[in-house]
Amino acid sequence: MVDGARLVCSTASPPSSGSSIITILRGNPNNIEARRRRLRNALETALRGASTNDVSAVEAVANAADEVQSQELAFDESLGPALEFLDVMGVPHEAVFGDLLEQLKRQLVEILRVAPRDVTEQSLAEILQHVASPFARDLVSAALQRLATLPPPNDLEQQAISALASALTDDPTHMEQMPISLRRRIWEKAPELLLVQVRPLVVSYVSALRQKMGPLLIDLCREAPEQRRRDNEVLQKIVYLIGPQRELYLALRGELLSSFREAVSKGEPALREQPADGASIGAPVSVGCEPLLSTLRSQVLLSLIDMNLLRPSLSGSWCRTL
């Protein structure tokens, strides 16, 4: 609680050049954090210089430790009456401190959105070690968004993207709230995070296409292919997730090819619906290998051409227009 409150109370002013977010949060050099550092240094000095019979230096440091601890606990003690009142009103303590942390996060994000490059990089380097926390991930995300506007990219950004990908693989909390440009960079490092979102869309696309195979032949004469692709919401969702990133398209293509080959080798449906309640597996979308997987791949490529993210190529290579 002490650290959270100290952070909330120390983010009112914008950062100056050369100072990081962590430095800003620590605030006055006479605060508890600074005293704790001085205490550690004094303890190390005392222990190195003290003999077996000379314990006065160590005792002095121990007394200083008691003083720092009592000051650190004073914050919690001062909150006692207010927390008791909130208990009476039925407001849990978790909600109070949750609101404080949320306010803190919003303030830090606002600081990072306008911070100079050196401040952002210093802050990112210090926050990155806590990336396993969803709270820290939001700050890492804000720092990366800021650095994306301050080219060129550097090794720290790549390190942060890799750390985010690793943390989100274990716990994808808050990933949907990140901007799509950042999510694509993360998916390049951890394609499985993309495929988790794409697989249900692939099933929906193929299932819907199979259900309208008859009317589809009539539609071929009524609508231009570009219009059909634009009107297909599921296809557009897949294209939106992939964007202009070649690596993400290759991840999708590899997934479709793997599903097709596995269906051929095992003689099982390539795609299944999500299992219903109590069922171990979902209903099959089709029997055996699924040729419409190849249709989806080609429609994704053509949609990217429709959006001017790709241009046609006789060699079949990936040709970006951006």
Same domain, 207 and 290: yes
Q: Which of 188, 215, 245 is the last residue of a domain?
A: 188
> Higher confidence at residue 234 or residue 22?
234
Same domain, 213 and 168: no
Q: Residue 161, SS3?
A: helix
- Whether 43 maps to a domain, the answer reads no
Same domain, 7 and 86: yes
pLDDT band at 133 (very low <50, low <70, confident <90, very high): confident
pLDDT band at 156 (very low <50, low <70, confident <90, very high): very high
- Whether 298 maps to a domain, the answer reads yes
- Whether 275 maps to a domain, the answer reads yes
Strand runs labelled E in the chain: none
Measured distance CA(307)–CA(321) in Å, rounded? 10
CB of 10 closer than 8 Å to CB of 26: yes
- Whether 24 maps to a domain, the answer reads yes
Please compute the mean of the pLDDT values over residues 89-117 and round it to a whole number. Answer: 79
**Residue 155 structural domain:** 2-30+79-188
Q: How many domains does the structure of the chain reveal?
A: 2
Cis peptide before 152 (omega within 30 of 0): yes
Same domain, 6 and 134: yes
Residue 184, pLDDT > 90, answer yes
> Higher confidence at residue 130 or residue 74?
130
Same domain, 162 and 22: yes
CB of 290 closer than 8 Å to CB of 260: yes
Same domain, 104 and 16: yes
Q: What is the pLDDT of residues 198-238, one digit of tens each?
A: 999 999 999 888 887 666 566 666 778 888 899 999 999 99
Q: pTM (2 decimals)?
A: 0.67
Q: What is the pLDDT of residues 1-11, one digit of tens each?
A: 333 333 333 33
Instruction: Specify the residue for token string 């219903």.
Output: 276
Residue 117, pLDDT > 50, answer yes
Q: What is the model's pLDDT at position 5?
A: 35
Same domain, 277 and 252: yes
Please compute the mean of the pLDDT values over residues 306-318 and round it to a whole number. Answer: 68
Q: What is the model's pLDDT at position 236?
A: 96
Same domain, 124 and 160: yes
Please compute the mean of the pLDDT values over residues 138-145 and round it to a whole number. Answer: 91
Same domain, 165 and 212: no
Q: Calculate the average pLDDT of the chain.
A: 76
Please compute the mean of the pLDDT values over residues 168-196 and round it to a whole number. Answer: 91
* Residue-wise DSSP of 231-286: H-HHHHHHHHHHTT-HHHHHHHHHHHHHHHHHHHHHTS-S-BPPPPTT-SSPPBSS
Q: What is the pLDDT of residues 251-305, one digit of tens each?
A: 999 999 998 888 888 888 888 888 877 677 888 887 777 888 989 999 999 999 8
CB of 165 closer than 8 Å to CB of 186: yes
CA 271 and chain centroid, separation: 29
* Backbone angles phi and psi of 311, in degrees to 5: -125, 150
